[in-house]
Amino acid sequence: MLSVHNLTYRYQQAEMVFEFDARQGEIIAVLGPSGAGKSTLLSLLAGMIPAVSGSVVVNSEDITDKPAHLRPLTMLFQEHNLFPHLSVTDNIALGIAPDLSLSPAQKTAITAAASRVGLEGYLDRLPGQLSGGQRQRVALARSLVRERPLLLLDEPFSALDPAFVKTCSGWLRRLRMKGKPRYLW
């Protein structure tokens, strides 16, 4: 369960307050015009920006004051946030091993995630050698290998072609049905 209570953020003269609960397995879409606070909400939940007040509770654990890297969630940004000097494999690996020292099982998981998003032939390439949609697929694969209970997606399919968006949406629904992460996008 994800519970957000009176989560407050101030930007210049504006104040945003978020309040909602989500049960395990739910997919929640946050809709609104540009500048409404959708990405701000996800950044608050992920711990990327601090809230003025309020709380974020995941499975009865208050994570409001936890640093971003210790929160039980994964954030897929609208911009892919890949490291240009690292290969596709290494960019995906950062999701589970920031020091890039991988166990055989982790290497298998990375290859499987790359294959799942259609990048099996691109593992040695650098981000600059990929299209925008392929870079977004690398970021999606990195998010999938983390296996955290909560996955926050900020316009995850914006650079992907319509056929692949349909494929990705199907994956997310199947993961949800298997009791895998909840998704907020």
d(CA 20, CA 125): 41
For helices 132-146 and 162-177, give the axis angle rounded to 10 degrees. 10
Q: Which amino acid is at 91?
A: N
Give residues with Cβ within 8 angstroms of 112, minimum separation 6. none
- Average pLDDT estimate for 144-158: 77
The mean pLDDT value for 154-175 works out to 68
Model pLDDT, residue 166: 73
Tell me how far CA of residue 79 lies from CA of 4, 64, 85, in angstroms.
Answer: 25, 24, 17
- Specify the higher pLDDT residue, 25 or 13: 13
pLDDT in tens, 1-10: 899 999 999 9
Q: Is the pLDDT of residue 14 over 70?
A: yes
Where is pLDDT greater, at 134 or 154?
134
The confidence score (pLDDT) of residue 185 equals 42
Tokens found for residue 180? 């895998």
pLDDT score for 183? 44
pLDDT above 60 (res 179): no
25 vs 70, residue with greater confidence: 70
pLDDT tens digits, 23-59: 877 878 888 888 888 888 999 999 999 999 999 999 9
> What is residue 143's predicted lDDT score, i.e. its pLDDT?
84
CATH architecture of 2-184: 3-Layer(aba) Sandwich (3.40)
The whole-number pLDDT of residue 184 equals 46
The closest alpha carbon to 114, from 144, 155, 146, belongs to: 144
pLDDT tens readout for residues 82-131: 999 999 999 999 988 889 999 999 999 999 989 888 899 999 999 999 98
